[in-house]
Amino acid sequence: MKPAGIPSGTQSQSERTLRVLRRVWEVLEDAAPYEADCGDACSRRCCGGDEHAGMLLFPEERQLMERSGGCFTFSYNEDGEEYAVCSGRCSRQSRPIACRIYPLFPLPQCREGQTRIHLILDPRARAVCPIAAANQKVSFGFRRKVRRAARLLLTEPVLRDAYLKMAQPVHDLWEFQQKLGVSSRRR
């Protein structure tokens, strides 16, 4: 029985956000740049950060990570955004979106009421990831999953706001690198 005052069928904002976030995680569950494990070739450089290198989280994402049994510490940056720090090892099912889409970033471009997704190699990854440093093409399946995940994020207002906010500095850096002639083409 529902508690008095909560109409049947009403979902809290947090539940709505979590529902979409779960779908995004599912879409990206097996996402990887190639069929072969690129980590074998580079000794998993993207997992080798220290306690200062964290992954920015989407709203409610911490809940999913905690429920999936991962071992993370959580904190906030000066803008009040939550991020997670890992030990350099995780069960794949507990990794956050930031890791699932790496080294791609789906750049949203809003024009005339429409939002289009342009996939780029994340300009922040150039210093770490050999794929990004060499402007290598990743698999079609990976690109399709990242694009689909980005579209899902845009369907839920809280996730959409967080996503657009996260995308701005990536866009600015990508544009800057384009001017220098070092950033990746659109994918």
Helix (H) or strand (E) holding 82: strand 82-86
Nearer to ligand SF4, 32 or 167 (CB): 32
DSSP code at position 186: P
Phi and psi for 79 in degrees, rounded to 5? -90, 5
Instruction: Identify the bridge partners of residue 121 per DSSP, sorted by sequence position.
Output: 104
Amino acid at 71: C
Indicate whether 169 belongs to the interface with ligand SF4 (CB under 6 A): no
* Number of residues forming the site for ligand SF4 (CB under 6 A): 20
Indicate whether 86 belongs to the interface with ligand SF4 (CB under 6 A): yes
Q: How far is the CB of 151 from ligand SF4 (least distance, A)?
A: 22
**Piece of 6-14, 99-107, 115-123, 179-187 that binds ligand SF4 (CB under 6 A):** 99-107
Indicate whether 31 belongs to the interface with ligand SF4 (CB under 6 A): no
3-state secondary structure labels for all residues of 120-139: EECHHHCCCCHHHHCCCCCC
One residue of 22, 130, 158, 177 binding ligand SF4 per CB under 6 A: 130
